[in-house]
Amino acid sequence: MNTEIWYFPVSALINAVTSTFLGFYLVFTSLKKRVARYLLYFCFAVAAWSYGYFMWQMADNATDALFWVRILMIGAIFTSISYFHLVLVFINIDKERFYRILLIIFYFFSFLWLFLDFTPYFVVGVETLSYFNYWPIAGPFYTPYLIAFFTHVIYASILLLKYYRKIHGIVKIQTVLLLLGLSMAFVGGSTNYPLWYGIDIAPWGNSLVSIYVILTVYAMMKYKFMDMKVIMAELFAGLVSIIFLVEIFFSRSISESILRVLALTFVILFSMMLVRSVRREIRGKEEITDLAHSLEKANLKLKELDRQKTDFLSIAAHQLRTPLSIMKGYIELIEDGAFGKPTKGIVKTLDEMDESNERLVKLVDEFLDITRIEQGRTKFDFAAHDMNKMITNTIKELQEKADIKGQKILWKLNPAIKNVYMDDDKIRHVIFNFIDNSTKYSGESKKIWVSLEKEKDHVVVKVKDEGIGFDKQDEVNFFQKFYRGNNVKGTNVNGTGLGLYVCRRFIEAHQGEVWGKSEGLGQGSEFGFWLPVKRA
């Protein structure tokens, strides 16, 4: 047996093993997928062709050879039609009316060839040719069959090319791989036909059929789970390994082939590591994308919850505000003797009621402020105002409260600062809150400093006290909604944790900034803000 003859049965066997192996791989891994079922059908068609081919090559008499040629032809008939069908399924057009009719026509002819296969109309007999002892002789229907074969292959290529132009991303690579495989099979498989027509070209391209089957299964089954980088890495690794493998067969000595086997082992190991690391990287990326998605969802949900809460607060606060005002009115009327002169005991109780009522009014007002801010309904009325005058008036309002606690509010006017562009009411609210907090959280200490300064084109207001102070952990949270510091735990000072939040939002609306500073617990604190003198 010379080397050339040796090539034909061996390449047929390799094709047979490859297609059978891939067929079983599909059976065990992915038969639930529609594409996979058509792939299996295609693999088995190639396998039938390859086994028939192998047996024909091994045959030692004309009768056996003819029989196996006919078996081989069954595989050949179904290889092209199954591939065409597979491409339709892959592009997802197989259910379209036009392609259904086309499939019926193509299958009709395929079955016609199948029936003719065992008659002399298809293969007449076998004859001896160069390389082959039993080469088949074509019957009258062989050429029409060949036309059908090329129609399937060319039509499938056109469909894939058209599809390629329409799609993007990974499916594009997949289509390229299919086209690549198809052209290999076309070139490889077609080398079988010249001898039938007396052209002296032997089927040298047969081994390309294995690559065709591998590429087809690979492209269709794997692409979904990966991205381009993995496919590229795998293809590269596969190609390098094949080159190293082929090199082994061209070794001139045993030691050289041992060396090449070693090199191939290293290449395979290295390739596996490379592919694995690329795959790991991609998986990491996918996980991050998934996480980002779920975070985004959670964020949207939170935002919606926050909005619902604001709406609820707004309704509740509005409903509370009116009865509180009415109660306040009645308390004043009773105290003024509108319903008869009240006793001292009643006046004292009414005072306490009024105080509680006031606290509630303040709370409801804060709620209303917040809901207005959050729903974007706060109205700002910007104009040039005298800041010195405004601070002096605010301090006056708070003086009584400070006096009761024996506290001194130290405030020195800054005549250098004239008009500041601001919403007078809102800034007054902020300064009031800062000083009010200082009186609330001053403990035993007695002094509160208020200052107004100019720094470049900013005005800076600071309120300092010698009170309970706070540590770093609190500092960042004070200006959040409903936040009350750790420093007030254990004190019996009432509060909601809303005041500073509202202050921050008001100052931010002025394009300014707020802050709170302290050296630590018990070391006093400074709350302040800056505003641009002129608004942009």
Binding site for ligand ADP (CB under 6 A): 433, 437-438, 441, 465, 467-468, 470, 478, 483-485, 487-488, 495-501, 525, 527
Q: Are 138 and 96 in contact (CB under 8 A)?
A: no
Q: Which is nearer to ligand ADP, 9 or 522 (CB)?
A: 522
- In the complex, minimum distance from the CB of residue 498 to ligand ADP, in angstroms, rounded to a whole number: 6
For residue 136, the surrounding DSSP H or E stretch is: strand 135-138
- In the complex, minimum distance from the CB of residue 493 to ligand ADP, in angstroms, rounded to a whole number: 7
Q: Which is nearer to ligand ADP, 89 or 500 (CB)?
A: 500
Q: Which is nearer to ligand ADP, 392 or 523 (CB)?
A: 523
- In the complex, minimum distance from the CB of residue 439 to ligand ADP, in angstroms, rounded to a whole number: 9
Tell me the residue length of the chain: 536
Q: Which is nearer to ligand ADP, 371 or 487 (CB)?
A: 487
- In the complex, minimum distance from the CB of residue 422 to ligand ADP, in angstroms, rounded to a whole number: 20
- In the complex, minimum distance from the CB of residue 417 to ligand ADP, in angstroms, rounded to a whole number: 24
- How is 347-372 classified by DSSP, letter by letter? HHHHHHHHHHHHHHHHHHHHHHHHHH
Q: How far apart are CA 292 and CA 26, in angstroms?
A: 34
Q: Which is nearer to ligand ADP, 407 or 487 (CB)?
A: 487
- In the complex, minimum distance from the CB of residue 430 to ligand ADP, in angstroms, rounded to a whole number: 11
- In the complex, minimum distance from the CB of residue 386 to ligand ADP, in angstroms, rounded to a whole number: 26
Q: Which is nearer to ligand ADP, 378 or 477 (CB)?
A: 477
- In the complex, minimum distance from the CB of residue 293 to ligand ADP, in angstroms, rounded to a whole number: 35
Q: How far apart are CA 149 and CA 143, in angstroms?
A: 10
What lies within 8 Å, CB to CB, of 241 at 6+ separation is 264, 267, 268, 271
Residue 514 is given by DSSP the state E
Which residues are paired to 136 by β-bridges?
126
- In the complex, minimum distance from the CB of residue 497 to ligand ADP, in angstroms, rounded to a whole number: 4
Q: Which is nearer to ligand ADP, 392 or 491 (CB)?
A: 491
Q: How far apart are CA 74 and CA 113, in angstroms?
A: 8
Residues 381-385: contacts with CB under 8 Å, at least 24 apart: 381/423, 381/424, 381/425, 382/421, 382/422, 382/423, 382/535, 383/421, 383/422, 383/423, 383/424, 384/419, 384/420, 384/421, 385/419, 385/420, 385/421, 385/422, 385/424, 385/427
Q: Which is nearer to ligand ADP, 460 or 488 (CB)?
A: 488
Q: Which is nearer to ligand ADP, 53 or 441 (CB)?
A: 441
Largest CA distance in the chain: 136
For residue 177, how far is the Cα from the chain centroid?
Answer: 27
What lies within 8 Å, CB to CB, of 170 at 6+ separation is 223, 226, 227, 228, 231
- In the complex, minimum distance from the CB of residue 279 to ligand ADP, in angstroms, rounded to a whole number: 51
Q: Are 110 and 78 in contact (CB under 8 A)?
A: yes
* End-to-end C-alpha distance for the chain, whole angstroms: 95
Structure tokens given for 446? 């007695």
Q: Which is nearer to ligand ADP, 304 or 355 (CB)?
A: 355
Q: How far apart are CA 272 and CA 278, in angstroms?
A: 10
